[in-house]
Structure 1
């Protein structure tokens, strides 16, 4: 029995050492934060096994964990680029613009869909990127432009097919209480952030099914974490996240892998220009009923512009975490279903999903303690007495 235990123990130890060495070699090629986290967890698990169990069973379980780690890292290896064709929407600015440049440098054939093919963003892409990048006029709320873009992509890729679609285009709207957001803004947000992405997906899915490629949808942390002032935007991103999850299950039989990116707060142009905010603000004021005008007051609405400053101060200027996650989603042998780039985005999503509602509401209110005034009715000292 002692001889058997000794021989088996040495065999397990040898297997563990070999697998560990292979994992470390793979880790050197894998610079993602998740890889380092997995190794740390495996180390803690192995230590717990060796301390709590006999040497024999500890080595058995630790060898098994090393094998699972090896299988995990094998799936994280990147496929060769080979000028794979990728369509990106919302390439005028922000993440879509940066992603178009980044994938072009990596050697992908990039189709950058833009809202204005004669705008400064489109011109910069033509000027700074390689000949493998094509700028397409693509307003994703315009069915004809989607069909035209599909024809141009088909004409260029021919038999090579389309490897990936990245639905990135999106708008924020005016951040204010959901009761005050006009229905036109709700419908506009849904048209761009959800229906546009769905229509682009439906148009290009036959090409993705043919190539057994990738569908990547850029959602938002706000699609899973309730945030004040974001009723229109968050609702549409939640819809996009669920659409992605359903499509992931349905398209798996075709060999198409679907990922959703839920970034935290990054500095982009999604909020729009000052002129756009003037227009949206005017629409809200014009849409007010007498009761809303009395209860909220115009001063309260005008103070909501401070959200622009808050967004700028709290957002991360470096969008590279998002770019790396999109690269992984379209290049890894086994991409993840969900990505959460950005500081605290993963923790906030977990907190919103699993914590008691009372606890979440308390901490979310504390962490967003910036103030943008109070509605006129709530600022009255006798309001509570009147309500009673």
Structure 2
């Protein structure tokens, strides 16, 4: 607000000191900026509006459900396992307005069953918003090393699952002129080594969201994309899962590829993942507040970039030359850089 008022005063001074045309132009610009800022701060009443959140077993989706429940929303928490500890925690800690739904987004029959339960409960009140949060990270590795089934699984959950949920629930959102909020990633716009499978799916989700934003505007439905930086959301899995991924890579790689990369290089990939976790923020509040704004603001933003330097990286990826972006990311990603066996110094010398 202070910034907008300062712009207004500055424009008023310019109106006096400059020519009438330029003064009026600057004054009009300051008024537009002030109107835009104030419009973004207008909030709609919660009024027990109904919201569906996918991927609510743990991590971000779990936290979003709890936050929205405290705000007074009617929450439908889609979970992978309705008998799991995450689902039980939601039932125990949240109000009776929250309902837990069995909802594996890769299974259309479960999505349709969840839709039937939502329609039955909301009736004439309608569904205000869908938050597509369900996602998997996979195992970070060079794109050549990632098994094809992992590419397909990531796409099935992160992209096709979100599309399935969106198409199923859109008739309800169109009637309520509600909100579609898709949780993407900074990786959708910033190329990052060893994240070929994950980032590709999030890039697809971001483009899908942008197209839907244009198409649904005529229905009064607003679409927002959240592109967070690194948060400790448990999406990266456990150490046991990392070992399982390592084993799959080693077992299915062609002999020539394994010889070039070397087993030692593949076994160091988990150090890259550990580095990502070390630099990730445990505080979800910036992310949750952006989701809240996307749901409640009268004029939500089309894109949100919560998290440490997420907005900066996305801007640089759009503006800076490709070579400079690649260099900056490589120097920032990790201090300990391991090279494939065929490119390590001793092997290079032998080849020469």
**Band of TM-score, shorter chain:** over 0.9
| Aligned mates of 1:100, 1:138 — CA distance in 2 | 15
Q: 1:303 touches 1:372 (CA, 8 Å); kept in 2?
A: no
1:198: how far off?
A: 0.3
Q: Which residue of 1 aligns with 2:224?
A: 259
Shift of 1:274: 2.0
Between Structure 1 and Structure 2, how many residues are aligned? 350
Match runs of 1:223-302 below 5 Å:
223-302=188-267
Alpha-carbon RMSD across the aligned residues, in angstroms, is 2.0
Matched ranges for 1:186-201 at <5 A: 186-201=151-166
Partner residue, 2:10: 47
Paired with 2:241 and 2:232, the residues of 1 have a C-alpha distance of 17
- Look up the match of 1:67: 31
Partner Cα distance (2:134, 2:58) in 1 = 10
Q: Within 2, Cα distance between the matches of 1:243 and 1:293?
A: 36
**Deviation of 1:53 (Å):** 6.8
Q: Once the 2 structures are TM-superposed, how far is the Cα of residue 386 of structure 1 from its aligned partner?
A: 4.1
Q: 103, 117, 128: which is aligned to 1:138?
A: 103
Q: Deviation of residue 326 (structure 1)?
A: 0.6
8 Å CA contact retained: 2:50, 2:75: yes
Q: What SS does the corresponding residue of 1:264 show, helix, strand or coil?
A: coil
Q: Which has the larger radius of gyration?
A: 1
- Within the candidate set 308, 330, 336, 1:371 is matched to 336
Matches of 2:39 and 2:302 in 1, distance apart?
17
CA distance in 2, matches of 1:176, 1:75: 40
Cα distance between partner residues in 2 of 1:90 and 1:225: 24
Post-superposition CA distance 1:86-121 (Å, at most 9, x none): 000010111100000000000000000011111111
Correspondences of 1:343-354 after superposition (within 5 Å): 343-354=308-319
Cα offset, 1:68, TM superposition? 1.7
Higher deviation after alignment, 80-89 or 281-290: 281-290
Range with bigger deviation, 329-338 or 56-65: 56-65
Task: Compute the displacement of 1:347 (Å).
Answer: 0.9
Does the residue aligned with 2:342 lie in a helix, a strand or coil? coil
Residue 317 of structure 1 and its aligned partner are, at CA, apart by 1.0
- Structure 2 residue aligned with 1:321: 286
Residues 49 and 61 of structure 1 are in contact (CA less than 8 Å); yes or no, is this contact kept in structure 2?
no
2:141 matches 1:206: no
**Alignment match, 1:147:** 112
1:310 counterpart (269, 272, 275): 275
**The one of 326, 340, 351 aligned to 2:305:** 340
- TM-score, normalised via structure 1 length: 0.86
Q: Distance in 2 between matches of 1:45 and 1:193?
A: 44
1:122 aligns with 2:87: yes
* Alignment partners' CA distance in 1, 2:73 and 2:274: 36
2:66 to 78, 97, 101: 101
Partners of 1:325 and 1:381 in 2: CA distance: 50
